[in-house]
Chain A
Amino acid sequence: MKTGIYPGCSLNGSARDYNESVFALAEAFGLELEQVSDWNCCGATAAHNLNKDLSLALPARILALAEKNGMDEIIVPCAACYNRLTLTQTELRKDPELRNHVSGIIEMDYKGTSGIINVIEWIDKYITPNLEGRIVIPYAHKVACYYGCLLVRPHKVLNYDRPEDPQSMDLVMSKIGAEPIYYPFKTECCGAGLSISRTDIVSKLSGKIIEDAESRGAEAIIVACPMCHSNLDMRRNDINKYWGKEFKIPVIFITQAIGHAIGLTDKKIGLKRHFVDVKIS
């Protein structure tokens, strides 16, 4: 079984803390993660808002490269990329005509043989079974696991967890000693792609999530998506200004939380790169 990784543009740039923690975990558990060679951007929201063919062709090139690399599966830690890649794979699998059309655009063969998994599936498959005896600092805190939209919806296509009140991250967190709280904002949208063009909407929507999590006593928000992270963490000043409050709750990638629990240094898992200070005791 060869597992590859498609990091995507965010992990390569503003979410390098996430990237560092994914690779730190892979190293700590002796897992191979080869990058899809010469990968390109998946096109994200922009492509499917403006141009359908482009929104299929860009992910198709990535998937075709993964196939060429002989990867049986690829882990896609960015929830947005995971969503676009899985949607493309599903559409091309069910419509051979469309597949030929897109193959023609990218001028590469595409068979659809490489599987796609998100970061939690990767953790469930390769890390949780080997956690025993590895935890040196149990993550003994109340946490709000925030899934956002793209990890669980559209459910019929992704077929992952449940679209309302999902549990997979909560389960992982409880395995490392945390106490996940119940709250109603697990899959509410943070404002996603409007971050730059309508910052006010992001401040409002992200603020609602933060406010609720904090008011229920959560000490951290746990995420698995670089877009959610940048809206909840990097945009914190805008959010605080919009709400007239001083929200202090840190936003931590699930891979960072596990890394911390198994004793990796803050630097190694990118905790020092956050905008909102993280102090885990």
Chain B
Amino acid sequence: MSHTATLTEKDTLAFHLEKNIDVLARKCYQCGKCSAGCPVAGEMDFSPSMVMRLLQTETPANDEKTLRSYSIWLCLTCEMCLCRCPMEIDIPSVMDFLRQKSLKEKKVNPKARRIIAFHKSFLNSIKYTGRLFELGLTLDYKRRSLTLMQDVALAPRMISRGKLHFIPEIIKGRPQVAKIFKKTSKKEN
């Protein structure tokens, strides 16, 4: 990362973004194309261009708002914003970075609990078998998110079409996969 040497240490999100993923928030000139093309901007508390603006201010209050926002969890990583940004600002990577920081600092927006429960159930499923076990994922997610009744309508139709396995497939390299999870688990809990 070429700019690191000239960067003055600051504990702002903009600084961390520049240092860790080489994205310069100040390059954004607020044209709004990212928000115009973002499929979930309407559901977000701060649209993608507003997130960029919050980052630019580099104030503790706005950094806090960003990490506690619902937006970072709603982002689908569809990459439309980056595709259309005239400054080629990698917002999807910014969102990834913010999500991981928000999780680490326990600042996750309460509305995002279900989304995170789903991601965790997903990873849990592959941690023990190496491959995703869709039925196990759904059951574990329901346990975590307490949404027991949702989606039951789908199951019988999936079964009759042979689309739902009842027994997980376990790969030979399962211990290896478990080790990968162990070695990378510092950041996620």
Nearest Cβ on chain A to B33's Cβ, whole angstroms? 12
Task: Check if B123 sits within 8 Å of A43, measured CB to CB.
Answer: yes
Size of the B side of the interface (Cβ < 8 Å), in residues, is 59
Question: Which of B92, B114, B164, B173 meets A154, CB within 8 Å?
Answer: B92
A191 CB within 8 Å of chain B: yes
- Looking across the interface, which residue of chain B has its beta carbon closest to that of A57? B180
- Looking across the interface, which residue of chain A has its beta carbon closest to that of B118? A197
Question: For residue B100, which residues in chain A have a CB less than 8 angstroms away from its CB?
Answer: 49-52
Question: For residue A57, which residues in chain B have a CB less than 8 angstroms away from its CB?
Answer: 180, 183-184
Question: For residue A187, which residues in chain B have a CB less than 8 angstroms away from its CB?
Answer: 80
- Looking across the interface, which residue of chain A has its beta carbon closest to that of B40? A201
Question: For residue A38, which residues in chain B have a CB less than 8 angstroms away from its CB?
Answer: 130, 171-173
Task: Check if B138 sits within 8 Å of A43, measured CB to CB.
Answer: no
A13-B132, A40-B173, A154-B79 known; A51+B150 contact, CB < 8 A: no
Task: Check if A196 sits within 8 Å of B141, measured CB to CB.
Answer: yes
Question: Which of B78, B145, B158 meets A149, CB within 8 Å?
Answer: B78
With the chains together, A41 CA to B177 CA distance in Å? Answer: 10
Task: Check if B80 sits within 8 Å of A149, measured CB to CB.
Answer: yes
The dominant DSSP class at the A interface is: helix
Task: Check if B176 sits within 8 Å of A107, measured CB to CB.
Answer: yes
Task: Check if B115 sits within 8 Å of A194, measured CB to CB.
Answer: yes
Question: For residue B141, which residues in chain A have a CB less than 8 angstroms away from its CB?
Answer: 196-197
Chain A 38-82: CB-based contact to B (< 8 A → 1; otherwise 0): 111101111111111110011001000000000000000000000
With the chains together, A197 CA to B113 CA distance in Å? Answer: 9
B187 CB within 8 Å of chain A: yes
Question: For residue A189, which residues in chain B have a CB less than 8 angstroms away from its CB?
Answer: 39, 76, 78, 80
With the chains together, A88 CA to B71 CA distance in Å? Answer: 25
Chain A 75-107: CB-based contact to B (< 8 A → 1; otherwise 0): 000000000000000000000000000000111
With the chains together, A192 CA to B188 CA distance in Å? Answer: 22
Nearest Cβ on chain B to A76's Cβ, whole angstroms? 15
Instruction: Assign chain A's interface to a size class.
Output: 35 or more
Within 8 A of A (CB), among B66-87: 74, 76-80, 82-83
With the chains together, A253 CA to B29 CA distance in Å? Answer: 41
Question: For residue A51, which residues in chain B have a CB less than 8 angstroms away from its CB?
Answer: 100, 123, 184-185, 187-188
Besides A61-B180, A193-B77, 20 other A-B contacts (C-beta < 8 A): A13-B164, A13-B165, A15-B163, A38-B172, A39-B171, A41-B132, A46-B123, A51-B123, A51-B187, A52-B187, A53-B183, A53-B184, A106-B180, A154-B82, A188-B39, A194-B115, A196-B150, A197-B114, A197-B118, A234-B158
Report 16 cross-chain contacts, Cβ distance below 8 Å, ordered by A residue: A12-B169, A13-B164, A40-B126, A43-B126, A50-B116, A50-B188, A51-B187, A54-B123, A58-B126, A107-B179, A153-B79, A189-B76, A197-B115, A197-B141, A198-B74, A273-B162
Chain B residues within CB distance 8 Å of chain A = 39-40, 43, 74, 76-80, 82-83, 90, 92, 96, 99-100, 103, 114-120, 122-123, 126, 130-132, 134, 138, 141, 145, 150-151, 153-154, 157-158, 161-165, 169, 171-173, 176-177, 179-181, 183-185, 187-188
Q: Which 4 pairs of residues, A with B, have the shortest CB-CB distance?
A: A153-B79, A9-B132, A189-B78, A46-B122
Chain A residues within CB distance 8 Å of chain B = 9-10, 12-17, 38-41, 43-54, 57-58, 61, 105-107, 149, 153-155, 163-164, 187-189, 191-194, 196-199, 201, 205, 234, 237, 272-275
